[in-house]
Amino acid sequence: MQDWAITRAIPATFSDAISQQPRRDPIDVARAREQHRAYVSALRSFGVAVEELPPDDAYPDCCFVEDCAVVARGVALITNPGAPSRRGEPPAVRGALARRLRIETMAAPATLDGGDCLVAEDRILVGLSARTNAAGVARLREVFAPLGLRVVPVELGDVLHLKCVCSSLGGCRVLVAEGLLPDAPFEGLDVVSIPREEAYAANVVAVGKSVLAPAGFPATHERLRRAGYHVVPIDNSETRKADGSLTCLSIIGP
């Protein structure tokens, strides 16, 4: 069972966050903050001790802490984020993680976003996205292979990060949107599939048998309930406009 999480509040500049959706509605920062508070409260209601870092307005994407580190087996690998505008985000996250875990780092030219890394049982799946390069994958392997984790690269289609279309349900269980990822990297894992039309909902935050899931995806909620989970829907319309999902907003340990 997870017992702590790091989050970072929404900065005043959040409407300038990176987005690949040129024609989307503008981001409502006040609403984003309300939704973020609901997310943090829900995590706390699951018994997670949440440390919320203050935002830094110099970094519009700073609430997406997941991209700043990969955490497994007592180690936090602090990343060098793939987007140049995000490279100043990791130090604050590193400070919080250093009180809990052994820290490893990554230097340019290596780049990697935590959103590309899914830790499941004996492996870390890593998406070969535009944000994560071969040197980033090599550094990931150098840090985690000696700890007994296999690093398995995953070819991606047209998605920002691997975890845009899959996420962990704890242990060897993963939630995966049908038809968007190769099967081989998932061999040996317990895959719960959801329909491709609801692919956005493949990104959930599981804490034991409780799951934060994006609101408005009934087939996914039903599928999770049938798999034995208690589903808490979260409205994240504003972070979604900035290409964010639910896992991006926290780093959960141990």
Contact residues for ligand CIR, defined by CB under 6 A:
17-18, 61, 64, 66-67, 83, 86, 115, 161, 242-245, 248
What is the smallest separation between the CB atom of 226 and ligand CIR, expressed in angstroms?
Answer: 26
Specify the residue, 66 or 238, whose C-beta has the smaller distance to ligand CIR. Answer: 66
Distance of alpha carbon 138 from alpha carbon 140, whole angstroms: 5
Report how far apart, in Å, the C-alpha atoms of 160 and of each of 43, 81, 94, 130, 211 are. 25, 13, 23, 7, 23
Specify the residue, 59 or 144, whose C-beta has the smaller distance to ligand CIR. Answer: 59
Specify the residue, 83 or 135, whose C-beta has the smaller distance to ligand CIR. Answer: 83
What is the smallest separation between the CB atom of 113 and ligand CIR, expressed in angstroms?
Answer: 6
Specify the residue, 113 or 229, whose C-beta has the smaller distance to ligand CIR. Answer: 113
Q: Which of 68, 161, 166, 221 is catalytic?
A: 161
Provide the token pair at 15: 């409407």
Provide the token pair at 113: 């976003």
Active-site residue 161, yes or no?
A: yes
Report how far apart, in Å, the C-alpha atoms of 101 and of each of 28, 57, 74 are. 35, 27, 5
What is the smallest separation between the CB atom of 146 and ligand CIR, expressed in angstroms?
Answer: 25
Bridge partners for 193 per DSSP: 176
Distance of alpha carbon 114 from alpha carbon 123, whole angstroms: 15
Active-site residue 248, yes or no?
A: yes
Q: Which of 62, 68, 117, 248 is catalytic?
A: 248
Residues identified as active-site: 161, 248
